[in-house]
Structure 1
Amino acid sequence: MNTVQIKNFLVIAEIGSFTKAEETLNTTKTALKKQIDTMELELEFPLFVRSTKGLYLTKAGQVFYDKVKDMYQSYLDTVTECKKIYFSNTRDIRIGMYSITEMLNWYMDVERNSHFKIQQILSTANTHEYNFRMLMDGSIDFLEYEDNEQLYRRGFCYTKIIEDDLCCIMSPNHQLADYKVIHPEELCGYQIFCWTAKSSATRALFGYVDKLGWNLKGLPYSVETILNVCNEGNIYILSRNSAAMFHPLRVIPIAPRIPYCRGLVYKPEKEGLLQEMLQAAKPKRS
């Protein structure tokens, strides 16, 4: 027996009709009858007398109604009280972001399992200096970012949350569009773009530039940019989860696998707060 059944029972008893109760409860008469049948089987006594003259409580049903009504109201009062306690303790966490990413699911898990409320702050200036300054002056608690050497040079900490794979995105008309996987040497001779300039986050990519002579350039991420690049016959390299939204463009994995990690940058004094978040939701791994 659950709270929905109890609530419906109380309404039916007060109204005295399945037909009228279905309008109040926004469900069907058949569903309500089945719920009452289930309750009566569980209780092992009838709650209602059903006749052509109407629906009314049995003696046992009346006692059950009187007791349960008080208990149900006490339950509702307790839930209300607990919600007030919970929301009075809710803490906002401000996270700076360049764009909406696959980390949203992790943020939702944190909120679902804790008293934290995630406030996503999209950067108004797509520059490292601007976002680091927000982190330094306390405008944000964390910065969603890639693992990057310059973070540590500035005294920040970094924790990986999501691990993904890099893929190639291209037009369905591209010469490589029918490949199941693409090997690095097969990208030689093509114009390739990725979301950032040379950094530790893209070290593997620029390693192929040095080794195989890739024609690779950094080009800031945006939906319009990627569509234009690919429709012009070029290739854009992006994480697998982010690339999934670009259907009907072709998304082809690179082999051997090139991992891509995304996580949170923070000042050392925010370590305790991050650990609370990690206890509420485990990092995602592909």
Structure 2
Amino acid sequence: MYNKQLDAFIHAAELKSFSKAANLLYITPTSLIQQINLLEHHVGVQLFVRSPRGVTLTKAGESLYQDAKNIIRLSNNAIERAQMLGGNNDSGIRIGTSLLTKCRYLPDFWARMIEVYPDTEIKLVSQKNPEQANRQPLSDLGVAYEMQEGLYLSEFYRGKCNFLEFRQVPLCAAMSSDHPLHHLKSISFANLNGYTVLLLRRGISESFDFLRNALEQYPEIEIQDIDFYDINVFISCEMNNQILLAPEIWKDIHPTLLVHPLEGNFTVPYGLIYALELSNQALKFVAIIRELLM
């Protein structure tokens, strides 16, 4: 769906060598240079500075390089999405999973799905680098996978997906066994005075913002913003002897952190996050989940 000369261009730009790019693409250097020349003629500008030491991008080439990567990604995504919705692939129902999006409830639902539709195939897809996934939320939803289980971060996800709630998950206080508050059975806001708590930054989730509003009534509590949750946040909490405010359902993420109930009714929606457009199999799966939740 895109001009294949872009592949030659991108490899040459990254390797800074026409010959190395040609070897990678299993073509001759002459053939690759012809493709680059044709591309430069097509766009009407010089893309590379040639020298005996190799090639480097011109300013115009640098601009095209960034755009070309996006063009290829969007083209591949479009093909995958069309194949998924058209039923022309054999990948079954693809469910994204990672450390923070484990399938905790879905196995019971897909067991029922297989009872009703024995030919159903469930495939678990390992989600990409967690940091990238959190900075670009749901960018692979509807492309690499059709659904995932997890928290619904209302402000981040609104308009980008559908959501089917399984339950409201309590927000808790996680800390190391060395923390002065570790012996308490539950944590009140008064207990948190003088301590640093890690909390999802404002504007991502109505549920977390509601908790933040309550915390801000206690000026002696220091709130440290986090952009997203990943394993590094849990490790930082332990190493710096801080308190992490996180959902109770993640109590198994870091085995050395102790999770304590937080006094007050602070919860976050947890359930099925699924693409705005689904394959026929996935639509049937969502219908079965709805039926079982009733």
* TM-score, structure 1 normalization: 0.55
- Deviation string 1:233-280 (CA, Å, 9 cap, x unpaired) is 211122222114534432211011311222333344339756632454
Q: CA deviation at 1:116?
A: 4.0
Q: d(CA) in 2 for partners of 1:180 and 1:249?
A: 14
Give the helix-richer structure, 1 or 2.
Answer: 1
Q: How does 1:43-54 map to 2 (within 5 A)?
A: none
Question: Closer, same or farther in 2 for the Cα pair 1:183/1:221, shift >3 Å?
Answer: same
Q: Secondary structure at the match of 2:250?
A: helix
Give the counterpart of 1:158 among 163, 178, 181.
163
Question: Unpaired segments of 5 or more residues in structure 2?
Answer: 1-89, 115-119
Residue 168 (1) aligns with residue 173 (2): yes
Residue 265 (1) aligns with residue 259 (2): no
- Deviation string 1:180-227 (CA, Å, 9 cap, x unpaired) is 111123213211113x32222412222124322342221543445423
Question: Closer, same or farther in 2 for the Cα pair 1:122/1:147, shift >3 Å?
Answer: same
Match of 2:222 in 1: 215
CA contact (8 A) 1:110 1:116 kept: no
Question: Closer, same or farther in 2 for the Cα pair 1:253/1:280, shift >3 Å?
Answer: same
Q: How does 1:184-263 map to 2 (within 5 A)?
A: 184-194=189-199, 196-198=200-202, 199-200=204-205, 201-213=207-219, 214-216=221-223, 217-218=225-226, 220-263=228-271
CA contact (8 A) 1:209 1:215 kept: no
**Coordinate RMSD, CA, aligned:** 3.4
Question: Closer, same or farther in 2 for the Cα pair 1:172/1:135, shift >3 Å?
Answer: closer
Q: How does 1:115-134 map to 2 (within 5 A)?
A: 115-124=120-129, 125-128=131-134, 130-134=136-140
Number of equivalenced pairs: 193
Identity fraction in percent: 16
CA contact (8 A) 1:164 1:241 kept: yes
Question: Closer, same or farther in 2 for the Cα pair 1:117/1:267, shift >3 Å?
Answer: closer
Question: Closer, same or farther in 2 for the Cα pair 1:280/1:189, shift >3 Å?
Answer: same
Letter in 2 for 1:182: I
Q: d(CA) in 2 for partners of 1:281 and 1:139?
A: 21
CA contact (8 A) 2:100 2:230 kept: no
Question: Closer, same or farther in 2 for the Cα pair 1:197/1:273, shift >3 Å?
Answer: farther
Q: Which has the larger radius of gyration?
A: 1
- Deviation string 1:41-87 (CA, Å, 9 cap, x unpaired) is xxxxxxxxxxxxxxxxxxxxxxxxxxxxxxxxxxxxxxxxxxxxxxx
Question: Closer, same or farther in 2 for the Cα pair 1:284/1:204, shift >3 Å?
Answer: farther
Letter in 1 for 2:257: L
Letter in 1 for 2:138: F
Question: Closer, same or farther in 2 for the Cα pair 1:178/1:281, shift >3 Å?
Answer: same
Letter in 1 for 2:247: S
CA contact (8 A) 2:125 2:145 kept: no
Letter in 2 for 1:149: E
